[in-house]
Amino acid sequence: MTVVMTNELPAFPFDWDGTRLPAEVEALRAEPVRRVRTIAGAEAWLVSSYELCREVLENPRFSLKDTSAPGAPRQYALTIPPHVVNNMGNITGAGLRKAVMKAINPKAPGLEEWLRARAGALVDALVAEGAPGELRGAYADPYSAGLHCRMLGIPEEDGPRLLRSLDVAFMNAPHEIEAAGLHWDRDIAYMTERLDDPATGGLMAELAALREDPDYAHLTDEMLATVGVTLFGAGVISTAGFLTMALVSVLTRPDVREALTTGAHGVAGAMDELLRVNLSIGDGLPRLATEDVRLGEVEVRAGELVLVLVEAANHDPERFPDPLVFRPDRENAAEHLSFGGGRHYCPATALGKRHAEIALETLLDRLPGLRLAVPVEQLVWRTNFMKRLPERLPVAW
Ligand code: HEM
């Protein structure tokens, strides 16, 4: 009997197409805490109203760290060692937060100039080759990877090999993936070598120097390499993913295009609204209840998995009236949950925004005739991945 009941649970995630809000989101309004079946086959509570999503993110009884506990119900199989799930907690615990926060500050000397120059050079390359071009592989990915190589102080030529790991590391699969472990070991070995490479600069050189400091005697090379590998991963997948999906909005929504190019706000003023409507997060932000907690009308039991559906919170009409309308002057646009909330709120929001602003400004300024060069139905959407992504984004200008 139980089997029949559980088989009837809706499967989550709902839809990988990033051009529209999944139809299920509307139906969830009547049931903002809903039982679903995850990719890993577990049961979870899917939370979809703005208020309750925020409550989960801000209540420490919903733990990110504990989602990797042995035997806990899973959204999908882990692709990284379990202790790395609490990445920023580990960074803080090791006394490395200050160094990391300094590295991800967009006001770092020369960084904005570098971003502009890099975006400009990528547009030059697209123009030199001639239309059509492909904006993910030839623009968003190399721009984001280049930024993170610069920040870590490693050679930009090594960006593509580190990027390839991310196609596997951020897969949402029911079972462990062999390639994920192989990529992880190879990337940790690569980053460990950088610690002793005299050509290394940036954050990795700063971390390497701490090994001489007796106050940091607890640090191992593996811990330091893990910081480099995880910041590259979390940073590139999120910045390239958001930028690619912002480009999808610009290319498929005349209202967004008009607001960015002719509106009084410009790209920078529209950034929070762009983040609000962005469908880049393909899964739910996972938390494990560490105690019984009442959530809306539901009693969540200790040990149960809770998934925060960011796109539903960002399109909750109670918080954002006419949620499908793109309104850069929306007073509370910045209340979106696209950077999460509570104790795991993204530490790199300023860098994430500045990165996308400069890329969009450069592209729209240099290529005013930019348009999708294939029918929108031909875009191929990646499946079973942490981010929604078109595999290719062919454009003309
Ligand atoms: C537009 C770009 C970005 C977006 C949309 C984004 C989004 C997010 C979200 C939604 C979370 C919360 C995850 C959760 O609660 O489970 C998060 C956390 C995090 N992000 Fe970002 N992020 C961006 C850029 C970056 C960059 C550039 C870096 C680093 C180079 C970064 C590093 C992190 C880290 C380390 C955490 C974990 C924080 C913690 O657990 O305390 N992010 N990000």
pLDDT tens, position by position, 181-239: 999 999 999 999 999 999 999 999 999 999 999 999 999 999 999 999 999 999 999 99
Mutate to test the pocket of ligand 1, among 346, 354, 355, 389 (most ligand atoms within 8 A of CB): 346
Considering the domain boundaries, does residue 163 fall inside one? yes
Considering the domain boundaries, does residue 46 fall inside one? yes
Q: Which CATH number does the domain housing residue 286 bear?
A: 1.10.630.10
Cα 228 to ligand 1 centroid, rounded to whole Å = 14
Mutate to test the pocket of ligand 1, among 238, 335, 338 (most ligand atoms within 8 A of CB): 238
- Give the confidence band of 264 by pLDDT, cuts at 50, 70, 90: confident
Considering the domain boundaries, does residue 107 fall inside one? yes
- Give the confidence band of 7 by pLDDT, cuts at 50, 70, 90: low
Across the range 342-371, mean pLDDT stands at: 98
Considering the domain boundaries, does residue 58 fall inside one? yes
pLDDT > 90 in the chain, percent: 97
Give the pLDDT confidence score for residue 209 in this predicted structure.
Answer: 97
Asked whether residue 383 carries a pLDDT value surpassing 90, the answer given is yes
Cα 49 to ligand 1 centroid, rounded to whole Å = 21
Give the pLDDT confidence score for residue 4 in this predicted structure.
Answer: 42
Asked whether residue 2 carries a pLDDT value surpassing 50, the answer given is no
Average pLDDT, the chain: 96
Considering the domain boundaries, does residue 17 fall inside one? no
- The pLDDT tens digits of the residues spanning 72-92 come to 999 999 999 999 999 999 999
Cα 337 to ligand 1 centroid, rounded to whole Å = 11
User: Which residue has a Cα nearest atom 31 of ligand 1?
Assistant: 235
Across the range 28-46, mean pLDDT stands at: 98
Closest ligand 1 atom to the C-alpha of 57? 15
User: Which residue has a Cα nearest atom 26 of ligand 1?
Assistant: 235
Considering the domain boundaries, does residue 79 fall inside one? yes
How many structural domains are present in the chain?
1
Asked whether residue 5 carries a pLDDT value surpassing 50, the answer given is no
Give the pLDDT confidence score for residue 162 in this predicted structure.
Answer: 97
User: Which residue has a Cα nearest atom 1 of ligand 1?
Assistant: 352
The domain of 75 spans 24-396
Across the range 36-48, mean pLDDT stands at: 98
Considering the domain boundaries, does residue 37 fall inside one? yes
Which residues does ligand 1 sit against, CB inside 6 Å?
64, 87-88, 104, 231, 234-235, 238-239, 242, 285, 338-340, 344, 346-348, 351-352
User: Which residue has a Cα nearest atom 18 of ligand 1?
Assistant: 346
Considering the domain boundaries, does residue 357 fall inside one? yes
Distance CA 294, CA 278 (A): 30
Cα 99 to ligand 1 centroid, rounded to whole Å = 17
Cα 18 to ligand 1 centroid, rounded to whole Å = 20
Cα 128 to ligand 1 centroid, rounded to whole Å = 34
Asked whether residue 109 carries a pLDDT value surpassing 60, the answer given is yes
Cα 234 to ligand 1 centroid, rounded to whole Å = 6
Closest ligand 1 atom to the C-alpha of 86? 40
- The pLDDT tens digits of the residues spanning 300-309 come to 999 999 999 9
User: Which residue has a Cα nearest atom 7 of ligand 1?
Assistant: 339
Closest ligand 1 atom to the C-alpha of 104? 30
Q: Which amino acid is at 251?
A: L
User: Which residue has a Cα nearest atom 40 of ligand 1?
Assistant: 344
User: Which residue has a Cα nearest atom 20 of ligand 1?
Assistant: 346
Asked whether residue 263 carries a pLDDT value surpassing 90, the answer given is no
